[in-house]
Amino acid sequence: MSQELTLNLSLAFAKGNVSESLVPGEKKPSVSGDAAIKHLQNIDTSAEAIETGDLGTLGYMLAWNQDDTNYVEIGDYVAERDPTFVPLCELKAGEVACFRVTQNINALYAQANTEAVDLYYILVEA
């Protein structure tokens, strides 16, 4: 079966004399996995693993920072750096992001700034 996942995408920007938009519209990529997890996780100011349940290979993620003040970073640990948390995405208060997780990452981590935040997300198996 194909087109099991539906994404509705658009972005518009207008400020001063600049106005840009990109509206790819509805996209329906195929995924080979058959599992997903939707979860609200409280993320602390120290990097912690994002709960993935029984998912095998991570696929698409839609993440929404539920906090009104603080940002949250989503990323990975790089073992060669002692290990060090490496942020790949930053969500300011109230922001959302949708992306496909690279196949080089087996686990995602998140870290809040200043105070803990609630991160609401859905992860779809690749």
The per-residue pLDDT for 81 is 65
Q: Give the pLDDT of residue 106.
A: 81
Lowest mean pLDDT among 11-15, 29-33, 69-73, 78-82: 78-82
Residue 1: the pLDDT is 57
Domain ranges in the chain are 31-125
Q: pLDDT tens digits, residue range 37-79? A: 999 999 999 999 999 999 999 999 999 999 999 999 999 988 7
Of the candidates 116, 103, 104, 112, which has an alpha carbon nearest to the alpha carbon of residue 32?
103
The three-class DSSP label of residue 24 is strand
Q: Can you read off the two tokens belonging to residue 91?
A: 């969500």
pTM score, whole prediction: 0.90
Q: What average pLDDT does the structure give for the chain?
A: 93
CATH of 31-125, one of 3.10.580.10, 1.10.287.130, 1.10.1060.10, 2.60.120.220: 2.60.120.220
Find the Cα–Cα–Cα–Cα dihedral 85, 83, 99, 38, rounded to 10°.
-90
Classify 114 as helix, strand or coil.
Answer: coil
